[in-house]
Structure 1
Amino acid sequence: MNNLPNSYPKTNVQSENVINSVKLAWPAVGLFSVFATLFKSNSYLFDSVKLLLLGRRFTQWLLERINLQYWITSQFNEGDPAYEWIIHFLTYQKLWRQSLSSRVFATNSKRKWSIGSSEFNGTTAKGSAEYVPTYESPQLFRWNGYWVEIRRSNQNSKLSPPQFSVGNNKTIFVTLYTTDFSVLSDLVEEARQRYIEVSKPDVIVYTADMQAASSIPKHSIFLIEDIDCAFPSREETDYDTASFFAGFPISPSHPSRRSAVSLSGLLNVIDGIGSEEGKLFFATTNYIDRLDPALIRRGRIDKKLQYSLATREQTAAIFLQFYPESQSQNMSEKSELTTMSEKFASCLPIDEFSTADLQGYLLSWKTQPSQAVAGVLDWVKLERAERRKRKEREEAEREKTRRKCKSLKLNASIHPQRPVSL
């Protein structure tokens, strides 16, 4: 009985906690009851939402079945000639003259790819630079009574083979708000005609990288300069691979001329299944011995033209080209230039210097033909000395490489290593 008075305060405390909890939860309970009452009294809201969802799905189903479309969309991929047509056409239309974002390029062509600095700030274009808008956002303009929308996208080509995947693919989408396909044909034809009209004074050269090689136009010229730099021959590749798997602790000392271009990919472009008839294939090289025999066999390379070092006649002709007789009105001076050209050619050994070497020497005496003739013997001695030193340095490097390879082979025979598994 003495403990009873002590139990009453605990009961009072618990009652107060329950009351406080009810007070805190009462707003939520009241809000729930309000919503419950609202939805019970307005059950038609649920039916309205259901009807709206059903109507939306039915509309989508109906549009997919009827296929209502009031526009034509075409795609132009970079690397194809049509891409350049449409770029030049849109530039001619001054579509992006209000663009605030642009890329700056040095002017190196008669073809107009930019909108010019005057389009930006109203000043006179100086002609030394081109300002090409980035045209990232869609653009809308009117052409021949039709609305045309232009947008561009950059995306990686996942379908291209590895030897053809080079960076990003730039694509331009042209949307014509009409169902008449002939309108699209007229637009492309106008773009092509404008491009050809501007390009008439020049030779149109398609710089085909490996990604665009499969889309080389028919009846075109396919040119690869310094083809020996594109890939090593199979003999060189086999030597490097054998050296690596023989147990060498490091890779060969000479740098491998690897690139993203494969020999098989190039051979398929030249005469593979996907090759087109009517193409003329040209290639240049300074080291024909480095080319793979499969590349230069008959049927792929039918004609080989060797440009040898300068002959005596070529040397005299180069001299006269630098100091033309037409600049002189005196017949005696003309004959004197001819005599100097013959003397200049006689001082030079045959098939020892290239025309580029002679051009470099004559440029140092551009307006002094007599001094060019007088100093040619000293120049020959200097060139021979430099060549001899360069050859000695190359021989020393090769000897150093041979000694290093010999040491590596010796170490590999003493301490054989397991080949690296691929």
Structure 2
Amino acid sequence: MSAPLMIAQQVFSAFAGPKQNDFIQCINATLSDTNGTMANMPAMGVPTSFPTDLPSLIGLVASFSALREWLKIILFGGFLETLRRLAFHFYYKTYNSFFITARFEEEDTSYNWMMVWLSTRPEWKKARDVQISTRTFNLNREAVMIEGEDDDPSALMNESRQLALLPSTSSVNSVWYKGRWMRVSRTTREGYYGHREETLELCILSWDTSILNQLLIDAKKAYLAAQQNNISIFVSDSNNSWRHIASRPKRPLKSIVLDPGIKDRLIDDAQDFLASKRWYSSRGIPFRRGYLLYGAPGSGKTSIIHSLAGELGLDVYVISLSRSGLDDTGLSELISELPEKCIALMEDIDAAFSQTLNRDAEPEVEPKPTPNGPPHRPSTSKISLSGLLNALDGVGAQEGRILFATTNKYESLDSALCRPGRMDIHIEFKLASKYQAQELYKCFYLPDSEGEGIISPLEARNKKANKHGGSDSGYSSDEETKRLSTPKSSGRHTPPRLSAEKIEEMSREFADTIPEREFSMASLQGFLMGYKIHPFEAVKDVGGWIERERAEMAAKAKAKEANAQGKLSAPSSPVSVTQDIPSHKITVEVDGL
């Protein structure tokens, strides 16, 4: 018992006053008693034993005046702190009731709306603390150009990145919108993997919440108006979320050269699908449409998708099946988060798998070394065909989207992937025909606008008569004729003025030289790119280019054959391959009711 009493002695001595000396002496006497009893303790009006019950202990503690004073201070201080917190709580609550606060995260599309809208506000012209940025927020440069920049005729200024004024992250800016005062601030924080994340905060002095809706609508309209000539490109990140990476100018359909009927068939079918939501719903058919574009590389599969996206006014969401770490669950999550009206693009759908598409994912086996080199690494994709099929038309598949899939190996695709409901329309892209070669030539050398670069037949005849029997080269002057003999240069020079009749004649001559279905449209375009302002040289040199291309292809085929024979461990019988190259064909399959 001596140990607890010694502890009590130390505790009570800290709070002891003059009146508690007798109690301290009592404890000391108890500790010095050799018999361990309290019988000889003098009765001095203090307790003769240590209290054992709670009420007595509380009464004992309350008998110390110093402790009572400290308790009063603690209770009074706590009461004051509670009042202070309540006062600030009601103050901020009352203050914030006069404001409407909205926050925009950088990863959200609405952040771009507001930043573009703020960059065009007249208040930034007078702001004293702004941030200078070259970000265009996925728009054309005119949308965020600062005042006076477009007046500079310097080519260096016009070709460089444009400047924009943005709210500074170190200050609070004021903006007026429809008679309401608005406070604008930007904050930054460190996100995952050191990525900096920005947040835009707007505080509008108003009780009417409809003012925020009007602001969002105006900002969205201004953004879409500035983006009317662009299409947005989205890709998936490592967190299986869609991220806006770029905007690309719309490509006119007339710049895509295909065999007759293909472009019209695609655009008419896509427009009919987008306008038939009620028809699909009333008949219980999933509101989805799929297109499979297959054929030779460089034949225009991706180009027509780009052009259709601009014609339909839809954004493009690129789904990369070969992305490292993407599995069936992640693919289903990505497709389910697609917006209702968009184009989902799966390029080279066969290349995501190391072999022909199977119902199940391939087992992970160690690659075997090849006779002439290291082993070929298998695909890192974890997607099985079953997972792909469920993502396309499963329960969680998004409706309203248009799916485009491209492949160079149509035969390697599973029939389940190509069936109606998943890929409704199949279009085969072959190598360039003579018709395509002629149209491509005219696309290069016809002027961009009507009347530009073209001379009328009457003017052409007058020019011919003025030359006194000279040959009609199609050029409008002797100066242009001299330009023909000059070496090819960059596109800084203007092309010669040719009559429409002359361009038609030269395009037929160019097309007659091109063999049917032997070269891709990409290779023909690459050849003509070297003759952008030299149409006569293009017709003259195309024959030599064909011979060089054939020689190069023959050398590659010979090297490939030699490489294949070296890899064979045993001789095998030769296999003859016959290539049938018909014209473009369209197979239309409609999902039954």
Q: Shared topology, TM-score over 0.5?
A: yes
Q: How does 1:2-401 map to 2 (within 5 A)?
A: 47-57=72-82, 60=85, 68=93, 69-70=96-97, 71-78=99-106, 80-93=108-121, 98=128, 102-104=132-134, 109-110=139-140, 114=144, 116=146, 126-127=157-158, 128-131=160-163, 135-137=168-170, 139-144=172-177, 145-153=180-188, 171-200=199-228, 202-205=229-232, 207-209=234-236, 210-212=240-242, 215-218=337-340, 220-224=341-345, 226-228=347-349, 231-232=352-353, 235=356, 241-244=363-366, 253-256=375-378, 258=380, 270-288=392-410, 295-324=417-446, 327-329=454-456, 330=460, 333=474, 335=501, 337-395=503-561
Q: Would the aligned equivalents of 1:310 and 1:354 in 2 still touch at CA under 8 Å?
A: yes
SS at match of 2:81: helix
Instruction: Rate the CA distance shift 1:379–1:61 in 2: closer, same or farther, 3 A.
Output: same
How far off is 1:350 after superposition?
0.7
Instruction: Rate the CA distance shift 1:264–1:241 in 2: closer, same or farther, 3 A.
Output: closer
Q: 1: CA distance between counterparts of 2:446 and 2:397?
A: 47
CA-based RMSD:
4.9
Q: 2: CA distance between counterparts of 1:349 and 1:192?
A: 51
Q: Would the aligned equivalents of 2:143 and 2:226 in 1 still touch at CA under 8 Å?
A: no
Alignment-mate amino acid for residue 431 of structure 2: L
Q: 1: CA distance between counterparts of 2:543 and 2:557?
A: 21
Instruction: Rate the CA distance shift 1:42–1:240 in 2: closer, same or farther, 3 A.
Output: closer
Q: 2: CA distance between counterparts of 1:273 and 1:75?
A: 34
**Deviates further, 53-62 or 314-323:** 53-62
Percent identical residues: 25
Alignment-mate amino acid for residue 234 of structure 2: T
Alignment-mate amino acid for residue 150 of structure 1: S
Q: Alpha-carbon deviations, 1:53-105, whole Å to 9, x = none?
A: 34334665798899935244334344544232112122223677655755545
Alignment-mate amino acid for residue 341 of structure 1: S
How far off is 1:216 after superposition?
4.0
Q: Would the aligned equivalents of 2:134 and 2:163 in 1 still touch at CA under 8 Å?
A: yes
Alignment-mate amino acid for residue 385 of structure 1: A
Q: Alpha-carbon deviations, 1:260-299, whole Å to 9, x = none?
A: 9998887676545454432223344445456666654421
How far off is 1:322 after superposition?
3.1
How far off is 1:315 after superposition?
1.3
Q: Would the aligned equivalents of 2:344 and 2:403 in 1 still touch at CA under 8 Å?
A: yes
What runs of 5+ residues in structure 2 fail to find an aligned partner?
1-13, 18-64, 243-333, 448-452, 462-471, 475-498, 570-593
Q: 2: CA distance between counterparts of 1:247 and 1:374?
A: 49
More helix by share: 1
Alignment-mate amino acid for residue 182 of structure 2: W
**Deviates further, 368-377 or 125-134:** 125-134
Q: 2: CA distance between counterparts of 1:267 and 1:92?
A: 46
Q: 1: CA distance between counterparts of 2:175 and 2:137?
A: 29
Alignment-mate amino acid for residue 195 of structure 1: Y
How far off is 1:239 after superposition?
8.6
Q: 2: CA distance between counterparts of 1:43 and 1:402?
A: 100
Q: Would the aligned equivalents of 2:139 and 2:230 in 1 still touch at CA under 8 Å?
A: no
SS at match of 1:141: strand
Instruction: Rate the CA distance shift 1:115–1:270 in 2: closer, same or farther, 3 A.
Output: farther
Relative to the length of structure 1, the TM-score reads 0.63
How far off is 1:312 after superposition?
1.2
Alignment-mate amino acid for residue 126 of structure 1: M
Q: How many aligned positions are there?
A: 350
Q: Would the aligned equivalents of 2:133 and 2:163 in 1 still touch at CA under 8 Å?
A: yes
How far off is 1:187 after superposition?
1.8
Alignment-mate amino acid for residue 129 of structure 1: R
SS at match of 2:427: coil
Q: 2: CA distance between counterparts of 1:285 and 1:93?
A: 47
How far off is 1:111 after superposition?
5.4
**Deviates further, 87-96 or 131-140:** 131-140
SS at match of 1:244: coil
How far off is 1:356 after superposition?
1.9
Alignment-mate amino acid for residue 211 of structure 1: S
SS at match of 1:142: strand
- Counterpart position of 2:492: none
Q: Alpha-carbon deviations, 1:183-225, whole Å to 9, x = none?
A: 321221221232233334x24435353512555443x222426
Instruction: Rate the CA distance shift 1:93–1:66 in 2: closer, same or farther, 3 A.
Output: closer
Q: 2: CA distance between counterparts of 1:268 and 1:173?
A: 41
How far off is 1:313 after superposition?
1.4
How far off is 1:44 after superposition?
6.1
Relative to the length of structure 2, the TM-score reads 0.47
